A and B are shown apart, each in its own frame.
Chain A
């Protein structure tokens, strides 16, 4: 041990030792320590202690005897009147440094600290209150930064629509992190916790269909948090976007669709004969259709050909394989089709050759 810290440590240890010697001198002839410090202030300090279970500290010792014992140590440490905090803080450190401790359920507490907790427990018992304990719930815990998030998803969905839907119908968010795990973690969506499982550095959640309907009913961002049970803190991961679907599209028969929302744009709308377009490999051709919240099983159909279709929250894309439909000039209808409802809506007419 070197420098000031060592001196401070030794000074504290010496202080505690001196107090241990000084205490027996507090006999009948000595001034009552309870007359030298504010009993009200002492009680207030004791009541202000938080985060401990009171029951193990409760006993039948007369309150004034307990107060007097604490006061005697405080007076020896220089406390007078209301000025108790600084001497008390120093005294607790000194007692720890000197090994002047009580052990309660294995916890090593300084003698004064343990007595103060006893006093607190007694005062709370008399008042019918309890020391504040773990009041912080997952969804309202203070914000902090304890997790290095590498990635997370999905990041959006449509109103009331499930996402990353698993075989039993529940939706799942996942969060991948790096570095150490701060113990057990729970994902909090908005202000509600979600059953969370952890495998290695991946958190995954289980969000039931009825929760999707309630939590993601309106367009807008929904904050996503991870709560650490160890740290009792939340960390914001990001905002999960709930997308407004827009108005429903009209079917070919003029009625409003119940499956598809309005198509706001699409393309390409033409190509030269024999020429693939938006081609990933020189052979296939790709269409895009801007429409929100299409049914997950939706298909794009060009003429009589079903395209390999991918449904996203903002758009549907379709891949036309081969060039057979592009070999001669033609005007081909592009249609969105939902196998589940049987509904289809026209997207537009695609032109091969001159427009």
Chain B
């Protein structure tokens, strides 16, 4: 049900779970809690329609440009109001500690993270959730580059949500639910602790202050807002939320993309969404897990897109079969877009800006940094792909933007805000524990991609919904025990 301001005040105390943020994580969490018979208060700064918040989302950036306003939305459904629907679980190697690469590895196994993967697919309305299997991989690679006899590269499968707009799709469910109590147009302005319990200080659009004391509180505000609020609350109230490790806001990760290379290749390749016998899917070229495990490069994906650029070598060059192991046929131009999940870097971080938003909360400052080795690893991977392609007589590689970008150079980003309240075994390594509970607290949790310790190359929504469902189970069990 949706609450009026007066109803919110009445619900402010005694609710088992308070969730701040009605994006995919917060709404998935509330819906699963309702299924488990647990009441929750779902607090959303925006209204029924997701829109960018021109005030709260403003901020500043460090040396590298970052589209701070481009992706975040306030309102029921949050950023699902404009997402593209690409879905894929993280790879097993994304959960593993990589020797020689700091800050890799999750404190939970992939199986634990994805205990509720099937339900996550249901919520995201993905009818076919198969990513592996002979028929699926055959369908995926049918229009991809064929590189037999090597195991440096393979094809990975993405599936598609319609994309589900959580606000539209689940609005009536929230409206009709007797367990979900949803307060719109109500912003969290700080968190404090009293007698070991968390208090959420809210401000509605009429300027009324409301304090919520719930059995458990969950921040599900997004990968920039979650650390911003924790950092601010620590400063405002002299707290040590997240423990003494100074990890809040650190290890900010996003997927970066570059059109770094081009290829001459035979045939019509298609790395876009396709209807296949194995359902709607999309394939990307990915490095082998072994290469990622060796630390050669961050996990990444390569998409080949058709290009009509005129170059030194033209399609007819492929008619010189002598240079292609005897395979004389035209070779066509493809751009190679590599998208990587950067490896965590402590100095890549969200900080508090010097300016305040209209509610008196310091705005966010994004200092996005990427290790040069991550760029180089991707370039090396493209070079390796070029060696396979040319060594098998298929085509040729052209190094296009083949340098490590300067720190001030703008990059294409996934606008996936990851890692800023990272999950860890203890407060020396992160902000939340394996259940998502903030270190130094008993009842404050975080949901969303900010808890991912690493990102892989896959889009985060499927994983963050799966983790929110896992958190719902934990909170429902906790409530049952209470």
Contact = CB atoms under 8 A, between A and B. Distances in A.
Q: Is the interface on chain A under 10, 10 to 19, 20 to 34, or 35 or more residues? A: 35 or more
A134 interface: yes
Interface stretch (B220-228, B315-323, B349-357, B369-377): B315-323
A135 B319 CA distance: 13
Interface string B142-156: 010000111110000
Contacts of A182: 268, 306
5 contacts: A9-B149, A9-B392, A93-B325, A93-B392, A134-B315
Contacts of A116: 323
Given A96-B391, A97-B387, A108-B398, A45 B149 contact: no
Contacts of A229: 308
Contacts of A50: 316-317, 319-320
A231 B330 contact: yes
A1 B152 contact: yes
Closest 6 CB pairs of A and B: A5-B149, A51-B316, A97-B391, A51-B317, A96-B390, A180-B270
A199 interface: no
Interface of A: 1-6, 8-9, 12-13, 45, 48-53, 56, 85, 88-90, 92-94, 96-97, 99, 103-110, 113, 116, 132-136, 146, 179-184, 229-232
B95 interface: no
Contact of A5 (B150, B316, B396): B150
Interface string B273-299: 010000000000000000000000000
A270 to B, nearest CB: 53
B190 to A, nearest CB: 48
B62 interface: no
Given A52-B317, A106-B400, A107-B398, A8 B149 contact: yes
Contacts of A103: 399
A48 B320 contact: yes
Contacts of B307: 183, 230
A84 to B, nearest CB: 9
Contacts of B391: 9, 12-13, 93-94, 96-97
Nearest to B383: A108
Contacts of A2: 149, 151
A106 B316 contact: no
Contacts of A133: 314, 316
A230 B320 contact: no
B436 to A, nearest CB: 41
B149 A4 contact: yes
B368 interface: no
A56 B320 contact: no
B313 to A, nearest CB: 5
Contacts of B149: 1-6, 8-9
Contacts of B315: 51, 134, 231-232
Contacts of A96: 387, 390-391
A53 B312 contact: yes
Contacts of A180: 143, 268, 270, 272, 274
B320 A85 contact: no
Interface residues of B, number: 46
A52 B323 CA distance: 13
Contacts of B274: 179-180
Contacts of A230: 306-308, 332-333
Contacts of B392: 5, 9, 93
A182 B308 CA distance: 10
Nearest to B306: A183
B346 to A, nearest CB: 35
A132 B314 CA distance: 10
Given A52-B312, A134-B316, A113 B148 contact: no
Contact of A109 (B311, B318, B383, B396): B396
A13 B311 CA distance: 28
B323 A107 contact: no
A49 B386 CA distance: 21
A276 to B, nearest CB: 46
Given A89-B322, A231-B332, A183 B308 contact: yes
Contacts of B330: 231-232
Contacts of B56: none
Contacts of B397: 107-108
A99 to B, nearest CB: 6
B162 interface: no
Contacts of A9: 149-150, 391-392
Contacts of B383: 108
B52 interface: no
A9 B330 CA distance: 23
Contacts of A89: 321-326, 393
A4 B324 CA distance: 19
B291 to A, nearest CB: 12
A132 B387 contact: no
B320 A106 contact: no
B390 A107 contact: no
Contacts of B262: 106
Nearest to A55: B312
A108 B263 CA distance: 10
Given A93-B392, A110-B390, A5 B148 contact: yes
Interface in B22-60: none
Contacts of A132: 316
Contacts of A56: 312
Interface string B238-249: 000000000000
